[in-house]
Chains A and B, each alone.
Chain A
Amino acid sequence: MISLTVNGQTRETVAEPRRLLCDVLREDFNLTGTHVGCEHGVCGACTVLIDDKPARACLTYAVQMEGHEITTIEAVGEAQLSPLQRALHEEHGLQCGFCTPGIVMTFEAFLRDVPDPTEEEVRDVLSGNLCRCTGYQNIVAAVLKAAATMREARL
């Protein structure tokens, strides 16, 4: 039996050590917003937050996460879309949506770290998330727009 803190709630499951965090989130906790693409850290679809920092849920074993806080896409924009989600919608920053949860989790964390990023910085961070639909231009535009919106909201 392992006990994990996911989106502020304590959840328990029986998982042998080799089980990936992404599989436990999806299969045991029914949190299917975390998508699983490559299963070796390249595509970024499974990105979640571990203690508020973005990380690959496919390179983490669930058993390792006892004592840590996991945040998944289900915790973002619960009542209404977050500024980043809204900007992705407005700028057409997604099509099929498979990569989107990983991108949202990555940039929710990054924009807290770097509230006023350059386009180059956004592209550097976005290099960790593969998108086969958009060609990335609209995602970059959306992240820059969300950053501006969030800075204004803080003033």
Chain B
Amino acid sequence: MKPASFNYHRPQTVEAAIGLLARYGASAKPIAGGQSLGPMLNMRLARPEHLVDLNDLVELDFLRASGEVLEIGAMTRHIRIATAPEVRRAHPLLAAAAATIGHYPIRQRGTIGGSLVHADPAAQIPLIATLCNAEIIVSGMAGTREVSASEFFQAVMTVDLRHGEMLTAVRFPVLAATTGWGFRLFSRRRGDFAIVAVATTLSLDGDGRFATVDIAVGGVDSVPLRIDLSGAAIKGEIPTESRVSDMAAFVADRINPDDGATIPAEYRRKLAAELARQALHEALERTRGVAS
């Protein structure tokens, strides 16, 4: 379990990193925290000729919460996203999800940019980015462009990055203080990738009826799925126990997980329904100021 040989590059600026990626193309791989790419290199599932180390790009390690938008630099570590007061204020759902990534030492190294680009279908950051319609900032020789999360994730571990481009930041719309949020994931061992994960945000109107509800599910398809709830006729409904269970069942009906050798599709579907029910409850409690 030792990686194949590679040439090592340690650019000092984003421009230099982009230059290296443009020059070496598909034979180069950028490495951020290395907590996903490292195992792939060690197991030789990835064999790049050139490894471009982004760890000196300290200008990409930042949090900027300004009014409506929380912008996070690509090299910001999970531990900072999980614990920084500005993230817990501006986007407590993102902070809570980041706190469940891997293990404590993994979170010290792993980065938000790395997680987005790696695009594991069960990973936390892509799920929250999809739910919240995050904007992904990508830079290359031709300049900078913004991609919505729904278009960025294309397939399993496949994202909209073109030749010589790298992800430099991500922008999340700030969660309103009145927004309730819930996050649930299930894995067999703490720190493993989720078998299924569900995230939700919702708001109630002045009469305590549903105003908006968004739900996304991870681990059930090639990319995180934002569930279209328009067919569920939720708006204006009273959030009763049975209404929440109906919504969870609606979500489970909208997914079509693979029938795996170890995990049957039916198991994932039932798990998605139960996690959705729990996440919706958690979110409702937050709108009522019960959960913290």
Q: A-side interface residues toward B, CB under 8 Å?
A: 16-20, 23, 39-41, 44, 47, 50, 53-56, 58-61, 63-64, 106, 110, 124-125, 127-129
- Known contacts A47-B105, A125-B104; is A59 also within 8 Å of B38 by CB? yes
Whether A127 contacts B189 by the Cβ 8 Å rule is yes
Whether A59 contacts B103 by the Cβ 8 Å rule is no
Whether A124 contacts B108 by the Cβ 8 Å rule is no
Q: Which residue in A18, A19, A64 is a CB contact (below 8 Å) of B53?
A: A64
Nearest Cβ on chain A to B75's Cβ, whole angstroms: 14
Chain A hits for B257, CB < 8 A: none
Bound Cα distance from A23 to B38, whole angstroms: 14
Chain A hits for B108, CB < 8 A: 50, 53-55
Whether B106 contacts A128 by the Cβ 8 Å rule is yes
Nearest Cβ on chain B to A40's Cβ, whole angstroms: 4
Interface string of B269-285 (1 = CB under 8 A from A): 00000000000000000
- Known contacts A59-B34, A128-B191; is A18 also within 8 Å of B6 by CB? yes
Whether A59 contacts B109 by the Cβ 8 Å rule is yes
The number of inter-chain residue pairs (CB within 8 angstroms) is 86
Chain A hits for B42, CB < 8 A: 20, 39-40, 58-59
Bound Cα distance from A54 to B43, whole angstroms: 22
Is B125 interfacial (CB 8 A cutoff)? no
Chain B hits for A23, CB < 8 A: 2
Whether A41 contacts B55 by the Cβ 8 Å rule is no
Bound Cα distance from A53 to B80, whole angstroms: 12
Chain A hits for B39, CB < 8 A: 40-41, 59
Chain A hits for B79, CB < 8 A: 53
Is B141 interfacial (CB 8 A cutoff)? no
Is B173 interfacial (CB 8 A cutoff)? no
Chain B hits for A19, CB < 8 A: 2
Nearest Cβ on chain B to A106's Cβ, whole angstroms: 6
Bound Cα distance from A124 to B35, whole angstroms: 18
Whether A128 contacts B8 by the Cβ 8 Å rule is no
Most buried by A among B5, B35, B109: B109
Whether B34 contacts A60 by the Cβ 8 Å rule is yes
| Nearest A residue (CB) for B103 | A128
Whether B105 contacts A54 by the Cβ 8 Å rule is yes
Chain A hits for B4, CB < 8 A: 18
26 A-B contacts, Cβ less than 8 Å apart? A17-B5, A17-B8, A18-B3, A20-B2, A40-B42, A40-B43, A41-B38, A53-B79, A54-B105, A56-B106, A59-B34, A59-B35, A59-B38, A59-B42, A60-B34, A60-B109, A63-B8, A64-B34, A64-B55, A110-B104, A125-B103, A127-B189, A127-B191, A128-B104, A128-B105, A128-B191
Nearest Cβ on chain A to B53's Cβ, whole angstroms: 6
Chain A hits for B7, CB < 8 A: 17
Nearest Cβ on chain A to B131's Cβ, whole angstroms: 24
Chain B hits for A127, CB < 8 A: 103, 189-191
Q: Which residue in B6, B8, B35, B189 is a CB contact (below 8 Å) of A41?
A: B35
Bound Cα distance from A50 to B35, whole angstroms: 14
Q: Which residue in A17, A54, A106 is a CB contact (below 8 Å) of B6?
A: A17
- Known contacts A17-B8, A127-B191; is A54 also within 8 Å of B38 by CB? no
Is B290 interfacial (CB 8 A cutoff)? no
Whether A106 contacts B104 by the Cβ 8 Å rule is yes
Is B1 interfacial (CB 8 A cutoff)? yes
- Known contacts A40-B43, A127-B191; is A60 also within 8 Å of B105 by CB? no
Chain B hits for A54, CB < 8 A: 104-105, 108
Chain B hits for A17, CB < 8 A: 5-8, 51
Chain B hits for A106, CB < 8 A: 104-105
Chain A hits for B106, CB < 8 A: 41, 56, 128
